[in-house]
Structure 1
């Protein structure tokens, strides 16, 4: 449960993503990703070097492919989806990844998928649907097929990365520093090809630094530890709290309005998390 709690910190950090991103102004997404991941890699580099386990060339090729592919692949396909489909539709499809984590976890050795895990994840998905759409529903249109497809790939990449990460417990979390730096290089290359550079001002630099320390950098260290050593099914379900907490922060800071979809999403997501955590709650009751 300690590792699960550490992994859940990532969900809290991701909840701040929307709010902090609004403070970065009009910095293009790949440029912002490159800058934030550079910060994220730098903060972990001293510990990685001191640990003695941080010789990058000594990492298994599979670990490199998984780490860089997961971090960069998710962001690449997410931005591709946003460029080619309405943001609400793309975001909702991409947020299938918590449910896919719960489903894919059944493929791991020693893991069993119970009905309450799936039911809890589906409730969380329902809460996210109500929250993201404002209760208005979604109309999928043929001209946005590329964006929809990219959003599906985005969800598959992150869920597969999160579950497959459990198969590399011998790879230290310190290695995430190298994965972040490699992701920053790839994002910078995409920025040079697809975007025009925007020079940040004083407050935007602070927002970029905050992203690198938190939701687009630091969060991946605690998520790595949680997915390798914690309850992967609980982490998948708890991840639905990220959009809910994100909306709550936007409401609290006056950047969004409180509404009935927020209240409905709170009930659905909290209920789903409680249902999915039935095993942990019973174990805690027995220990008590």
Structure 2
């Protein structure tokens, strides 16, 4: 197999693995608790990355990258994992994941606002489409309903707030990290910092003790390895893979993630929910296409 194909396959595999994360995090959270379960997942993921990617010396990275980039990464991962774990139901957890997938459109919006280069005006309706798609998924099966949106948010304001905050944090992370990283990758350290932060939050929370069963241990190991493998394979993919193909494929993640989440969590999603997911995906693709680097 051509080496470029190998890199591309690695990148595509990472995207598919990431699509499993929502269902796996929710599965572990139901057994070990939203905070303790997330802390365990990132601990396992950290160990996996240490053995696969390695633990580079901290002096190789700029302090700004570690503090700003690392801080954004940790806050985002905590927002996402806790939003999924603290959702009132499995269906609501999948709703949290769709809110999270506002980040591609938000990334483009922040990049456009920060850049002085001209951009197609179509970009703004595309960004609005992504928000409309999220609203469509959260409105149940009665069409767009502001009252239903308000009721959903009122039923679990913490999870919804965490999910929206996470989408904005990751969009900011994507815009500034490339400049701060200077070609370096501290993903292992960021994972370790996320695990430690979650353990600190667990220590000061009133969440009950973690009761480990054989089923929970298997699900935990699977979630940690899948999450760590996703980042490890993505690093391989972006080294020599076809980035146009990988970028295009990655923007279908909301569809893949929703499908796998429904399968893992054994839930049924309405046609309106799927329509909203497709809207978010199309909006992300349009945003990427209008702002992609042209060869």
Quick check: TM above 0.5? yes
- Unaligned residue ranges in structure 1 (runs of 5+): none
Give secondary structure in 2 for the equivalent of 1:168: helix
Q: Deviations over 1:178-212 (max 9, x none)?
A: 11112111111111111222122122212112222
1:20 to 20, 24, 41: 24
Give secondary structure in 2 for the equivalent of 1:164: helix
Q: Please give the TM-score of this superposition, normalised by the length of structure 1.
A: 0.72
Q: Deviations over 1:27-77 (max 9, x none)?
A: 122222222222222222245548xxx112442111112343123212434
1:229-244 to structure 2, matched below 5 A, reads 241-244=252-255
Tell me how far apart the structure 2 counterparts of residues 46 and 254 of structure 1 sit (CA, whole Å).
30
**Residue of structure 2 in register with 1:264 after alignment:** 275
The answer as to 2:108 corresponding to 1:97 is: no
CA contact (8 A) 1:74 1:158 kept: yes
Q: CA RMSD in A?
A: 4.4
The answer as to 2:177 corresponding to 1:199 is: no
Tell me how far apart the structure 2 counterparts of residues 35 and 119 of structure 1 sit (CA, whole Å).
41
- Unaligned residue ranges in structure 2 (runs of 5+): none
Give secondary structure in 1 for the equivalent of 2:40: helix
2:44 to 21, 25, 39: 39
1:54-65 to structure 2, matched below 5 A, reads 54-65=56-67
Tell me how far apart the structure 2 counterparts of residues 57 and 98 of structure 1 sit (CA, whole Å).
31
1:182 to 193, 215, 218: 193
Tell me how far apart the structure 2 counterparts of residues 256 and 102 of structure 1 sit (CA, whole Å).
32
CA contact (8 A) 1:165 1:224 kept: no
**CA distance 1:227–1:274, change in 2 (3 Å):** same
Report the more deviating stretch, 37-46 or 108-117.
108-117
Tell me how far apart the structure 1 counterparts of residues 27 and 174 of structure 2 sit (CA, whole Å).
29
Aligned residues: 277
1:155 to 129, 143, 167: 167
**Residue of structure 1 in register with 2:132 after alignment:** 126
Q: Please give the TM-score of this superposition, normalised by the length of structure 2.
A: 0.70
CA contact (8 A) 2:35 2:85 kept: no
The offset of 1:253, in angstroms, is 5.6
Tell me how far apart the structure 2 counterparts of residues 224 and 159 of structure 1 sit (CA, whole Å).
19
